[in-house]
Structure 1
């Protein structure tokens, strides 16, 4: 499936999107649009629906009501066989990093390239380049357990970017980091955004969100509510 958007339409559209489980409602009539090249924070307390929004976009979760469009295509219309291709064309930074413990830094990043059929030559060229871009090239031969939390997060971002996605989804990318490293990671995401990558971040770290000065979509109990300047979230 083709992901790169046309200039005339939003990259992401949610129109009264609902996600209901047997025991709870995760999203309740959520509507918003994201244009290509935007940097958007989804904020709210734990359980507000931030991560669910990202999971709907990546088709990890199917919405049960409303419309969710990616580049004009209804996500529930994406066939199961197409989902892996969809995800390969976006970068996903999970909350827990999800690095391969027995693989070195460069191998973790190279794995994502090999998964899409990149040649050995292309892997050798591209991996050092992306590691340097996220300032982790000096740790290319280290194993995940030898890295700090901030370094592991940089590797996860490098892996998400290695296949040149037009869209990056980051779920609580600073959740396990101290304030200094949190700001470093967000500044890195901002630099990637300047290069043209659309960046969507789920976060409850309002100090960092306010410092970045980007667009904010606030969720509360699965609904979009007006942002509140200077609010603090648990």
Structure 2
């Protein structure tokens, strides 16, 4: 098995004395896909938010990201990139373990969080009056993607989610499934090393 990208170690989460999560432990390797199933209210979304570092910390346990980081700039990548040149500044990427909820350096936690993306359950975070390609261009603009390359990159992302035939359609006119695919293209635009999908 590959070295883990993320380690979830005995995570517990209580809300007003009720256990939402109790002693959850697993590892996800780089490139691995993990599906978590359970009935409604079982804590799947709570776990995902904890793994992303949002909302409130767990009652106990740790979530550790095993990454490589550039000491000269804010760039973070997967651990297998250790020793490679940083694509932003040319520095050398070094191994780093980030204990997400026990990290005293909030800037380091934010750096990891910026390299993750999420597709929310039943939420179409789209600009409804904009075309599909404009929605993806907004996402590229958010990450300061070079403008001279943005149109081609947006078209590639839309093609990846098999929506090229709808590229010039207004987002609000799409079906629910098509809207989800546009949201996926927007999330992929961030080039995350970890993508969470809530249903």
Range into which the TM-score falls when normalised by the shorter chain: 0.7 to 0.9
Which deviates the most, 47-56 or 91-100?
Answer: 91-100
Q: Where does residue 89 of structure 2 map in the other structure?
A: none
1:150 aligns with 2:181: no
Cross-structure match for 2:61: 66
Does residue 112 in structure 1 map to residue 106 in structure 2?
Answer: no
CA contact (8 A) 1:88 1:116 kept: no
CA contact (8 A) 1:131 1:137 kept: yes
Q: TM-score, normalised by structure 2?
A: 0.75
Over residues 39-98 of structure 1, what are the superposed CA-to-partner deviations in whole Å (9 max), with x where a residue is unaligned?
A: 110100011111112111111132221111122311111644455543331221111132
Structure 1 stretch 98-107 or stretch 158-167: which is displaced more?
A: 98-107
Query: Greater RCO between the two (CA within 8 Å, min separation 6)?
Result: 1
* TM-score normalised by the chain length of structure 1: 0.65
- Bigger Rg over Cα: 2
Residues 23, 154 of structure 1: CA spacing in aligned structure 2 closer, same or farther, 3 A cutoff?
Answer: same
2:190 pairs with 146, 155, 163, which one? 163
Partner of 2:27: 33
Aligned-residue CA RMSD in angstroms?
2.0
Stretches of 4+ moved more than 6 A in 1? none
Residue 42 of structure 2: which of 43, 48, 51 is its match?
Answer: 48
C-alpha displacement of 1:10? 0.7
Shift of the alpha carbon at 1:130? 0.7
CA distance in 2, matches of 1:23, 1:60: 21
**1:75 aligns to what?**
100
Seen in structure 2, the aligned counterparts of structure 1 residues 78 and 19 have a Cα distance that, compared at 3 Å, is farther
